[in-house]
Amino acid sequence: MNKVLIIGGGVIGLSLARELQKKRRKRHQILERGEVGKEASNAAGGMLAVHAETNKQDDFFYFCNESLNLYPNFAEQLFDETSVDIELDKEGTLYLAFNEDDAAEIRQRYKWQKETGLEIEHLSSTEIHKLEPFVSPDVLEGLFFPNDWQVENRKLISALQKFCQLNRVKVIENTEITHLLYSNGKVIGAASVCREVFCRCGHFGNRRVDITHQKRYCFAESEADSRAND
């Protein structure tokens, strides 16, 4: 069976690894240029805000909405597999206007979503403060999206990492991919550069040698290629 290389160890990369593992595609590994889950997936707000972050009811909207609808089952499965609760919050999202430009955008968003039959509420400043008393008094109006949710993204990363650890998914950190490898017009792997190599030099101990070493990761190879790369 051909190998699968997953380049990037954020939420998407880890989720792909989990799915491959559950489908018994065991020859796969993750390559991450830094530490797993420490970049965008860690800094994000965990928003599952389909209605707040799309501007029309097109294919992209439907794609995002279908993804959103998978989350309750996804969260439940992750908890069963890892005992980590990703804290799926289904209380909805407030979308607020603090100036006239914001208000104009909000009214336009309300118009197209209402016309297409989506669930949405237009709120006055008074109604907003009833829901969230600590919102700034400068708020003019807002929208409430009952079907926009949120997760604790750091818990999501933890759950996916734990799944990979429990299932012995190979994760290689501090490995930046420099280019893809091609053969006969097809991508067969990726190459990385390691600029720090530690050498064991007898009684002189360990020292760092400042050289450049290229490592190849192949996912479509012959048995001879596999032995050579190992």
Dihedral over Cα of 78, 27, 198, 34: its sign:
negative
Give per-residue pLDDT as tens, 134-152: 999 999 999 999 999 999 9
* Cβ–Cβ under 8 Å, residues 30 and 169: yes
Angle (CA) 139-143-144 rounded to 5° is 120
**More confident call, 109 vs 218:** 109
Give per-residue pLDDT as tens, 160-181: 999 999 999 999 898 888 888 8
pTM summary value = 0.78
Q: Is 104 exposed, middle or buried (0-12, 13-18, 19+ CB in 10 A)?
A: exposed
Of 76-80, 181-185, 226-230, the least confident: 226-230
Q: How far apart are CA 177 and CA 162, in angstroms?
A: 24
Q: Please tell me the predicted confidence (pLDDT) of residue 26.
A: 62
Give every CB contact of residue 195 below 8 A, 6+ residues apart in sequence. Answer: 210, 211, 212, 213
- Residue 210 pLDDT exceeds 60: no
- Residue 216 pLDDT exceeds 70: no
Query: Mean pLDDT, to the nearest integer, of 54-70?
Result: 93
Give every CB contact of residue 70 below 8 A, 6+ residues apart in sequence. Answer: none
Confidence of residue 194 (pLDDT cuts 50, 70, 90): low
Share of the chain above pLDDT 70, in %: 82
Q: Please tell me the predicted confidence (pLDDT) of residue 16.
A: 93
With residues binned 3-state (H G I as helix, E B as strand, rest as coil), the percentages for the chain, rounded to 5, are 40, 25, 35
Say how many CA atoms lie within 13 Å of 29 toward its Cβ.
14
Query: Mean pLDDT, to the nearest integer, of 34-54?
Result: 90
